[in-house]
């Protein structure tokens, strides 16, 4: 089975499409809300409306004729661009810098020149004189333009400042995380994204599914396996569905070097969570179960696959497996009581006890399976992670959700990622 990352959020295409949308929204907002036509000295405001501005004489002399040029319709963009260096050279005070930045931005908008727009916004921000209600916008738009210019460090700084000043539109925090990802700082981006997700959860706030998908895709695509498994757990915890469970199972499978025993228990979870979405997953499960070893489970799984239309009745491999399992099932069911009797003997080996648990779980007899796995868990030589995983499954199948969670939480080692997903599922089944 191959996990298809196209089901998630692509690493860079997601960021760029999001940015394009945000910029399209921002262009109109910037013109509508900022009002850059004239600096304050030209508007004869009353003293009580704003603090007195401090423009240098040299700047006023350089600025005024260029400002008049902006009023011509249509504006002569080439002439305006040619005049800007003189205006910028005359800047002396913070108010000069704010007005000059406003003019540069306006000319950049006239000419659809993003480099000039970026320069203008940087001047306005650097002036320290931007109105408090406009500063968040200026910083966010500067951050977006820096992002487009692939200056991700500056973009991150501006967007974070915008957020700190109260800007909340267009998912600024997700865009900050994306600056890390686009700068190939995947671990740092995931650390940042995880922190803001944790903070939102702690505050009882909803977390956008796009945030989880972004973390999941970037972790998985860049082989950060521990983080990918963590985001798989987050995904099914917050947005449980057939798709999220199937993706989570696939990610845990593909980020570990599991053998059939682990694959079997992972596929068992996929089945319980309705995450067996295609024939390939059913076949993965059937190979791990083996019709000669767990015939009851194989028969019921193939019957389910046929009923749901996931398995093709003309597939000879499946039909051969089904025939083998049905024949083995007859013998196996007759011998099942003796498996239990042998496992209950005081001198039973751990292998015998675990085999009895496997046989009973294979036939859906969860109470008996729990009995044998519980016994095996305390025996010397037991494969404790395997036994605890299957003990938890047996408890889960009986509706003992709290006990199952406690059992899954004891699983260590390579199986811990599997047990973590089972624990989430047990929580959901209990209504948590």
pLDDT tens-digit profile of 190-242? 999 999 999 999 999 999 999 999 999 999 999 999 999 999 999 999 999 99
89: left (phi over 0), alpha (psi -120 to 50) or beta: alpha
Instruction: Write out the two tokens for 131.
Output: 């109105």
Instruction: Write out the two tokens for 157.
Output: 């700084």
| Long-range contacts from 130-138, C-beta under 8 angstroms, 24+ separation | 130/98, 134/33, 134/34, 135/165, 136/162, 136/165, 136/166, 136/167, 137/29, 137/30, 137/33, 137/34, 137/162, 137/167, 138/34
For range 109-127, the mean pLDDT: 96
Q: Give the pLDDT of residue 308.
A: 95
Report the half-sphere exposure of 378 (CA within 13 A, side-chain side): 5
pLDDT digits (tens, 9 = 90+) for 283-312: 999 999 999 999 999 999 999 999 999 999
Q: pTM for the whole thing?
A: 0.78
Going from the C-alpha of 178 to that of each of 19, 154, 211, 407, the distances in angstroms are 10, 13, 10, 38
Q: Give the pLDDT of residue 53.
A: 84
Cα separation of 65 and 116, whole Å? 19
In this model, does residue 142 exceed pLDDT 80?
Answer: yes
- Bigger pLDDT: 113 or 21? 113
- The 3-state secondary structure of 61-79, one letter per residue: HHHHHHHHHCCCCCCCHHH
Lowest mean pLDDT among 44-58, 71-85, 103-117, 310-324: 44-58
For range 302-329, the mean pLDDT: 96
How does residue 51 score in pLDDT terms, banded at 50, 70 and 90? low
- pLDDT, mean over the chain: 88
Whether the CB-CB separation of 342 and 351 falls below 8 Å is answered with: no
Cα separation of 249 and 12, whole Å? 24
Complete domains list, the chain, with CATH = 5-171 (no CATH), 259-429 (1.25.40)
Look at residues 103, 101, 108, 146 and name the one whose alpha carbon lies nearest to residue 126: 101
Whether the CB-CB separation of 97 and 66 falls below 8 Å is answered with: no
Cα separation of 301 and 267, whole Å? 11
- Bigger pLDDT: 23 or 339? 339
Q: How far is CA 232 from the centre of its chain?
A: 8
For range 77-104, the mean pLDDT: 96
Going from the C-alpha of 69 to that of each of 41, 59, 315, 322, the distances in angstroms are 17, 16, 77, 84
Q: Give the pLDDT of residue 50.
A: 55
């Amino acid at each position: 089975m191959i996990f298809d990352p196209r089901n998630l959020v692509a690493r860079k295409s997601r960021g760029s499409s999001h940015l394009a949308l945000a910029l399209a929204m921002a262009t109109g907002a910037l013109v509508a809300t900022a009002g850059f036509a004239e600096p304050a000295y030209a508007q004869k405001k009353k003293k009580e409306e704003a603090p007195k501005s401090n423009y240098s004489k040299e700047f006023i002399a350089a600025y005024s004729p260029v400002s008049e040029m902006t009023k011509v319709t249509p504006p002569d963009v080439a002439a305006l661009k040619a005049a800007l260096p003189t205006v910028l050279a005359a800047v002396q005070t913070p108010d000069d810098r704010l007005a000059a930045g406003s003019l540069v931005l306006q000319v950049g908008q006239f000419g659809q020149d993003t480099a000039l727009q970026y320069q203008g916004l940087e001047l306005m921000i650097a002036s320290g004189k931007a109105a408090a209600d406009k500063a968040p916008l200026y910083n966010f738009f500067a951050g977006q333009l820096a992002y487009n210019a692939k200056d991700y460090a500056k973009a991150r700084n501006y967007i974070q400042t915008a957020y700190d000043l109260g800007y909340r539109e267009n998912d600024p925090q997700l865009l900050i995380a994306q600056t890390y990802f686009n700068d190939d700082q995947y671990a740092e981006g995931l650390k940042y994204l995880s922190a803001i997700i944790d903070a939102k959860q702690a505050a009882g706030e909803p977390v956008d599914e796009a945030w989880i998908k972004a973390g999941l895709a970037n972790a998985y695509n860049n082989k950060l396996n521990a983080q990918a498994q963590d985001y798989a757990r987050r995904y099914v915890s917050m947005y449980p569905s057939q798709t999220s469970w199937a993706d989570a199972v696939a990610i845990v499978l593909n980020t570990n070097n599991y053998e059939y025993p682990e694959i079997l228990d992972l596929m068992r979870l996929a089945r319980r969570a309705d995450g067996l979405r295609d024939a390939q997953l059913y076949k993965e499960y059937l190979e791990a179960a083996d019709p000669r070893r767990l015939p009851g489970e194989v028969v019921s799984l193939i019957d389910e696959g046929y009923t749901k239309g996931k398995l093709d009745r003309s597939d000879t491999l499946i039909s051969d497996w089904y025939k083998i399992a049905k024949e083995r099932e007859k013998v196996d069911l007759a011998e099942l009581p003796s498996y239990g009797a042998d496992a209950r003997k005081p001198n039973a080996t751990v292998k015998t006890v675990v085999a009895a648990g496997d046989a009973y779980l294979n036939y859906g007899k969860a109470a008996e399976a729990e009995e044998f796995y519980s016994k095996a868990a305390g025996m010397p030589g037991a494969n404790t992670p395997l036994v605890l995983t299957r003990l938890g499954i047996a408890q889960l199948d009986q509706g003992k959700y709290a006990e199952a969670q406690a059992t899954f939480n004891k699983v260590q080692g390579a199986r811990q990622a599997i047990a973590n997903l089972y624990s989430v599922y047990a929580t959901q089944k209990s209504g948590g």
